[in-house]
Amino acid sequence: MKVTFKIWRQDSPKSKGVLKSYETDGISEDMSFLEALDHLNEILVAKNEKVVAFEYDCREGICGQCGLFINGRAHGPHEHTTACQLHMRSFKDGDTIVVEPWRAAAFPIIKDLVVDRSAFDRIIEKGGYISAKTGTAPEANAMLIPKEIADASMDVAACIGCGACVATCKNASAALFTSAKINHLNKLPQGKPEQHRRVLDMTAQMEAEGFGSCTLTGACEVECPAGISIASIAEMNNRYVRAKLLG
Amino acid sequence: MKLDSKIPEGRLEDKWSNYQLKSRLINPANKKKLNVIVVGAGLAGSGAAATLAELGYDVQCFCYQDSARRAHSVAAQGGMNAAKNYQHDGDSVFRMFYDALKGGDFRSREANTYRLAELSAPLIDHYVQQGVPFAREYGGVLINRSFGGVQVERTFYARGQTGQQLVLAAYSQLYKMVRAKKVKMMVRHEMLDLVLIDGKAKGIIARDLVTGQIKRFAADAVVLATGGYSRVFRLSTLAIGCNGSAIWKAHKRGAYFAAPSFTQIHPTALPQTSDSQSKLTLMSESLRNDGRIWVPKDKNDTRNGNDIPEEERDYYLERRYPSFGNLAPRDISSRAAKERIDAGHGVGNLKNAVYLDFKHAIERFGRDVIEDRYGNLFSMYKKITGIDAYKEPMKISPAAHFSMGGLWVDYELMTTIPGLYAIGECNYADHGANRLGANSLLQASIDGYFILPNTINNYLEDALKQDHPGVDHPEFDKVEKEVKSQIEKIMAVKGSRTVDDFHRELGKVMWQECAMSRNKQGLERAIVQIKQIHAEFWKEVRVTGTDNEMNSELEKALRLADFIELSLLMCTDALQRDESCGAHFREEYQTEEGEAVRNDEDFAYVSAWEYNAGDFILHKEKLEFEYVQPSVRSYK
Ligand SMILES: Cc1cc2nc3c(=O)[nH]c(=O)nc-3n(C[C@H](O)[C@H](O)[C@H](O)COP(=O)(O)OP(=O)(O)OC[C@H]3O[C@@H](n4cnc5c(N)ncnc54)[C@H](O)[C@@H]3O)c2cc1C
Ligand code: FES
């Protein structure tokens, strides 16, 4: 099939970007969306042009490195699906497909479709861990964790850190991401000793990074590839209030 | 140079404690003065960097992705083994050791493999403490399942995302130490060469993937934790950026490369559908419990799978291995599929797949049961292929998956270059010629968390007394110059073919001749072809853009240049080893029924290759078996 990609091209963080059109032939329905971009890049090389910079690694929906705004939606037309898991059969011959980077003040553009998401790492750095050194662990089964709690913790621990929640939010809020890590750890007995400090420090960092505030529109949970629900944000808010009172 | 494996004295079960008792210690005040570079931030790299930093060393840690959390360890689904014997089913450290040694077809060191099993239980304790939400029983204890043919249940898991949960734990611990300012995390930095001073590893040259700048980093020791190199086949279950460059450059600087050709091919991945495909997604092996594998008897059958009547189907695994049937081990199933595909019976557009059919299982148990068992896999299959596997048979195909081979290391995980360590999938240590499922998350983790932090002191204690050369040392000038000239050379070719085009060509040769089944003629032919690809690459590759900006074409070209050289060594190794063992199957060495014939008399050694100006010299580390006598692996 043949499609026209309209792709955001921007040379560097400071330069001005534009949407450029590329008519692309030879696309097959079985190609993943990223393979179609690979294909476009091979055509660009043949024409001696610079390739489109975009991000990926695992290409199986788990590493969270890919992230594209496709026709106005984070990761494209399907819910709970990463861009690398999207296939060209979701488009029609002759379609025009607009591809843009994540847009958020806290995710500055590096080049073309590549953004800097290190703000997420800095949020984790402020408490997304359990302060125990290697070599100090007690016997694993000495601590019983009910299945319901382990499962609920896993539901949010599944976050892949792609940033679709931020990209799709009109406020560019990172509440879903931050809540997922806080709740993953705070639900577990191992996470209790640091629970209050964790909520306060991580949310403070989230604000310091320039993410917007959450108004619970629910847009994020629709796009989240890991299917994390906004109930997680409500839970974080609750924990925040308790931490303020008790912490 | 004589290979000294440095196996400690004493009984098998005492070796590691004996080692620790004798190993040298460094006091905390002195550790601060020592700087360690860790290249890689997967389970092995993050674990090592975090733990070394906790112990007091100054650490610089590198990865090519935008965050440590993306390392390909993240993709492991199945789980991780540990000899906890929680199921009370007779498991023990010795049994786990035995399974791994035998699974590796007796091509690993007993002492290393034993330590793998020995440290597995404390590793579960560690990850639980770090907050990994492993699967649990209602009563709150940890659950296990069985994996890959072993007879006990010792696999721990977190849904289908075990690797992800372990990586997130390791990554969090790492960033805890970043906050403590004991680790400097260098994301989007790719190591391009190793710097030796007086024969010792003292630093690296890396490219900043955002600006293209070539940078120097000095340290008292260098640890490589760069993962597997199965992308040499291009199509594999690995991530697109996985590469062999760091270990290859180390090899060219003097580190011996062990068993480079030992590669695990997984039987149940999704097939390639077109030439532009970039990766193969793994489908869990568990599907073979209920699915039946077959191909059409008639080569030219173009009908849909469902339209082919029973009597015209060849259930070749059931036919060839009546007792194991569809559950024959990974290497055997993969080889049998290849044999049918090569004979022209493959299905799908490219005739490169076989059917995995659930029709009988659905008739027998009902759709509900099958949905309950494999629902998530069926929906993943639908997402990727658009096909409903409840109605049509799945198409599956073997895919390159894991590198048993890697840099040769001794018991301390040090390579043949003093001060250079290799940990995780990039070394050759515990798995022999075939690794067992769920043992490699384990190996990467214990290498990083438990072993390296205990062994590196032994070397660093000496380093303390020596001076600490900085990046202005002339050796840094020299190596940096070489790196820059290689980049300039690639940029200057300005040929007519894309990097991917060359990678596809290399991948095809390697897949045909150096994957599931190998023979002398094929390997000799491959060596000639690879040399041609090498020559052609340096004449015809085209990289657009410049080298002082983010440039994915340049990144790919540099990785491929190393893969081409590495593939020559892989074929050389496969050709030299005149026996079949584990994943290395030489067609000349098989029984009449197609079983592998191992030759312990002549090949009970680890092949460790030395680089010699484009050529390779073989060194042999003889394997002694004191505790388990090698036996024949049979599945009839
Ligand atoms: C799809 C899949 C499923 C699997 N399932 C299982 C399973 O269920 N159980 C199991 O036990 N094993 C499984 N394995 C195997 C296991 O996941 C790996 O062997 C293991 O995770 C490797 O860990 P590592 O730390 O050595 O490497 P990786 O996790 O691959 O990390 C490599 C690191 O090195 C960095 N790096 C690489 N090259 C460079 C360079 N030149 N410069 C700078 N940095 C570099 C990368 O950025 C990354 O941080 C699976 C493997 C795959 C592919
Ligand atoms: S490339 Fe890893 S999630 Fe898409």
How much is the average pLDDT of B429-443?
Answer: 94
Residue of B125, B223, B116, B250 lying closest to B453 (CA atoms) = B223
* Dist CA A215 CA B227 (whole Å): 42
Domain-located, residue B634: no
Task: Based on the fold, state whether residues B184 and B319 are members of the same structural domain.
Answer: no
* Dist CA B400 CA B570 (whole Å): 14
Contact between B634 and B329 under an 8 Å Cβ cutoff? The reply is: no
Contact between B111 and B15 under an 8 Å Cβ cutoff? The reply is: yes
Q: How many beta carbons lie within 10 A of that of residue A97, not counting itself?
A: 20
The domains of chain A are located at 3-111, 118-246
How far apart are the CA of B132 and the centre of ligand 1, in A? 18
Q: What is the DSSP letter of B271?
A: P
CATH code of the domain covering residue B581: 1.20.58.100
Task: List, for residues A72-114, the tens digit of each pLDDT value.
Answer: 999 999 999 999 999 999 999 999 999 999 999 999 999 999 9
Helix, coil or strand: residue B177: helix
| Higher-pLDDT residue of B237, B335 | B237
**Structural domain count, chain B:** 3
Residue of A nearest to B47 (CA): A134
Contact between B422 and B443 under an 8 Å Cβ cutoff? The reply is: no
Task: List, for residues A181-222, the tens digit of each pLDDT value.
Answer: 999 999 999 999 999 999 999 999 999 999 999 999 999 999
* Dist CA B401 CA B264 (whole Å): 6
Domain-located, residue B605: no
Q: Which domain does B552 fall in, by range?
A: 474-600
pLDDT confidence of residue B466:
87
B70 is catalytic: no
Locate B419 and state its tokens.
Answer: 């001060």
Percentage of chain B exceeding pLDDT 70? 99
Q: Choosing from B207, B253, B313, B330, which is the catalytic residue?
A: B330
Domain-located, residue B22: yes
Locate B44 and state its tokens.
Answer: 């092995």
Task: Based on the fold, state whether residues B292 and B224 are members of the same structural domain.
Answer: no
Contact between B568 and B530 under an 8 Å Cβ cutoff? The reply is: yes
* Cβ contact B278–A185 (<8 Å): no
Domain-located, residue B84: yes
Domain-located, residue B172: yes
Domain-located, residue B35: yes
pLDDT confidence of residue A247:
66
CATH code of the domain covering residue B183: 3.50.50.60
Domain-located, residue B567: yes
Task: Based on the fold, state whether residues B95 and B234 are members of the same structural domain.
Answer: yes
pLDDT confidence of residue B431:
95
Single-letter residue type at B50: A
Q: What is the DSSP letter of A85?
A: G
pLDDT confidence of residue B633:
73
**Does A32 have pLDDT greater than 80?**
yes
Task: Based on the fold, state whether residues B112 and B240 are members of the same structural domain.
Answer: yes
- Residue ranges with strand state E in chain A: 3-9, 18-24, 69-70, 73-74, 96-100, 109-111, 114-115
Contact between B414 and B455 under an 8 Å Cβ cutoff? The reply is: yes
User: Within the 84-123 window of chain A, which residues sit less than 8 Å (CB to CB) from chain B?
Assistant: 85, 87, 89, 110-111, 114, 116-118, 120-121
Q: What is the DSSP letter of B138?
A: T
**Does B42 have pLDDT greater than 80?**
yes
| Higher-pLDDT residue of B327, B402 | B402
Task: Based on the fold, state whether residues B384 and B335 are members of the same structural domain.
Answer: yes
How far apart are the CA of A66 and the centre of ligand 2, in A? 5
How much is the average pLDDT of A36-63?
Answer: 97
CATH code of the domain covering residue B389: 3.90.700.10
pLDDT confidence of residue B635:
63
SS (H, E, C) B2-69: CCCCCCCCCCHHHHHHHHHHHCCCCCHHHHCCCEEEEECCCHHHHHHHHHHHHHCCEEEEECCCCCHH
pLDDT confidence of residue A212:
96
Contact between B442 and B148 under an 8 Å Cβ cutoff? The reply is: no
pLDDT confidence of residue B575:
98
Task: Based on the fold, state whether residues B226 and B306 are members of the same structural domain.
Answer: no
Classify domain A3-111 by CATH number: 3.10.20.30
Q: For chain A, how big is the Rg over CA atoms in Å?
A: 20
pLDDT confidence of residue B286:
77
**Does B366 have pLDDT greater than 80?**
yes
Task: List, for residues B117-147, the tens digit of each pLDDT value.
Answer: 999 999 999 999 999 999 999 999 999 987 7
A10 contacts chain B (CB < 8 A): no
Residue of B195, B58, B186, B60 lying closest to B473 (CA atoms) = B195
Task: Collect all residues with Cβ–Cβ distance below 8 Å to B351 and sequence separation of at least 6.
Answer: B341, B344
> What is the ipTM, given to two decimal places?
0.98
Domain-located, residue B36: yes
From B379, B398, B417, give the residue that closes a domain.
Answer: B398
Locate B47 and state its tokens.
Answer: 């674990």
* Dist CA A215 CA B186 (whole Å): 35
Locate B498 and state its tokens.
Answer: 């894309």
Helix, coil or strand: residue B292: strand
Q: Is the pTM of this model over 0.95?
A: yes
Please name the residue ranges forming H helices in B119-253: 120-129, 162-179, 245-252
Classify domain A118-246 by CATH number: 1.10.1060.10
Task: Based on the fold, state whether residues B435 and B553 are members of the same structural domain.
Answer: no
* Dist CA B293 CA B285 (whole Å): 12
For chain B, the distance separating the N- and C-terminal CA atoms, rounded to the nearest angstrom, is 43
